[in-house]
Amino acid sequence: MSRIVIVVIDGFGIGAMPDADAHRPGDGAADTLGHLLDRHRAATGHPLALPTLEALGLGLVHPHPDLARAPTLPVAAGRAALGYPGADTYAGHQTMMGADFSRVTVARFAGHLDGVAAALRESGHGTDLLGGRPVLVADGCILVHDNLEADPGVNWNVSGRLEDVSFTDVLRVARVVRSVAPVARVIAVAGRTDAPLHTFVREGALGTVGLDTPASGFYRNGGLAVRHLGASLDRARRLPELAVDAAVPVTLVGKAADVLACDAAVCLPSVDTTEVFALTRDALRRAPATALIVSNVQETDLAGHQQDAARYASVLRRTDTGLSTLLPLLSSPGDRLIVTGDHGNDPVIGHACHTREYVPVLIHRPEAARPSTAGSRATHPDHLPPAHTLADVGATAAVALGLRAGALGSGTPLLRPAAGSAGAPR
């Protein structure tokens, strides 16, 4: 019997991957957590207090002087490479759930503008170019454009201003775009601004052009509505579907409810971090002895996009507090709290895009006698291997739930199941 809670801290990187500079020059210096801790100390004169994350082993995977090196809880701690190209929430979550996203198509919108325009016209939508730039204006007010917050060409956005159009109308256009888009994700976004959307269109990296969403006010003016429309994937080989097929109840909380989009799961969307943890606790209290809960803390990512280190620190403190409230509810052998990220979003790097960084993998194991550090399986079977990817998070959760990890599209379990748990050998 195992209750598995996976908490994804969106945009929580712990240092650039070796190929970060190849994706965006300068990102080889990215370090979301390290820069955040440095900035907080410089601004306040004292370290950022993250006692729960430190107890879970964060200082083991990021040896920053402001983090305690020794975990005080029974954990296994390590870091994960992303396991997919670029740095993207949708691809990150799909990879984490076992989907093979190693071949995500990267395409700038300019190269597909004519085909998208034709599809929209065939569906009854009007289309125009925005001032001769590679941005489509659908129905006079909805922009179709490159996403400037992820690596160039990974995602496209369909954006509308709620003062001009409803989110339903934005979503209708986005679904047509999704039907012909080769990229991993088409994101429908609507919100409120103080000026027309076209005034916030900017040039991005590598020839991309799109809406500067943080500058537009969408993230701060209220009413934000978002829907992630992902590329086709083999859902039968993802962790939520495998769990449901095995009669394991699945709950998706926060942004995970949208990004993972499992029809048979209980979906509890929310953006506010405090509410995300309240919903997670409530789901955990109601859960039977074997269950899967996946929660996403989105506000860290939003703060990174806004390049607001102070806000990021505030959200991370609330996240730390929220994690502390989950631990007493996960005390049975085989229960797992897995804390990780999906990419980086360095709030001081100098741009509002995701950063290609390693992410932490912190696994609380209440049945373990002591904490363990990342190392070789040859020296201790409960140590995390020195190199793994986000796909291994889903595989580890699958085995703990008594599911066959090989049924996933990708991933290798990091830990053996606990004796007496659902996934333990019999």
The verdict on residue 420 lying in a domain is no
Average pLDDT, the chain: 90
Same domain, 265 and 400: yes
Residue 376: is its pLDDT beyond 80? no
- The two beta strands, 185-191 and 225-230, are antiparallel
Task: Report the domain count for the chain.
Answer: 2
CATH number of the domain enclosing 279: 3.40.720.10
Maximum C-alpha span of the chain: 67
Residue range 196-210: mean pLDDT, rounded = 93
Residue range 316-322: mean pLDDT, rounded = 98
The verdict on residue 425 lying in a domain is no
Whole-angstrom distance, CA of residue 177 vs CA of residue 22: 28
Residue 405: is its pLDDT beyond 50? yes
The verdict on residue 189 lying in a domain is yes
- With a pLDDT cut of 90, the percent of the chain lying above it is 73
What pLDDT is stored for residue 241 in this prediction? 96
Residue range 347-363: mean pLDDT, rounded = 93
What pLDDT is stored for residue 93 in this prediction? 95
pLDDT one-digit tens code per residue, 18-73: 999 887 789 999 999 999 999 999 999 999 999 999 999 999 999 999 999 889 99
Same domain, 132 and 38: no
pLDDT one-digit tens code per residue, 217-274: 998 888 899 998 987 777 889 999 999 999 999 999 999 999 998 999 999 999 999 9
Same domain, 159 and 67: no
The verdict on residue 16 lying in a domain is yes
Same domain, 252 and 379: yes
Same domain, 225 and 237: no
Residue 387: is its pLDDT beyond 60? no
More confident site: 185 or 401: 401
Same domain, 305 and 368: yes
Name every residue whose Cβ is closer than 8 Å to that of residue 186 and which is 6 or more positions away in sequence: 155, 156, 157, 158, 174, 177, 178, 229
Same domain, 222 and 237: no
Which CA distances in Å does 81 have to 22, 60, 359?
16, 16, 7
What pLDDT is stored for residue 424 in this prediction? 43
The verdict on residue 418 lying in a domain is no
What pLDDT is stored for residue 22 in this prediction? 82
Same domain, 168 and 301: no
Same domain, 98 and 128: no
- Domain final position from 230, 253, 285: 230
> Is the Cα torsion angle 10, 209, 232, 191 positive or negative in sign?
positive
pTM tops 0.75, yes or no? yes
- Domain final position from 230, 265, 282: 230
The verdict on residue 29 lying in a domain is yes
Same domain, 140 and 277: no
Same domain, 98 and 134: no
Residue range 390-410: mean pLDDT, rounded = 94
- Domain final position from 170, 203, 230: 230
Whole-angstrom distance, CA of residue 147 vs CA of residue 139: 20
The verdict on residue 401 lying in a domain is yes
Domain containing 323 equals 3-103+233-407
The verdict on residue 413 lying in a domain is no
More confident site: 418 or 194: 194
Same domain, 87 and 114: no
Residue range 103-107: mean pLDDT, rounded = 77
What pLDDT is stored for residue 261 in this prediction? 85
What pLDDT is stored for residue 4 in this prediction? 98
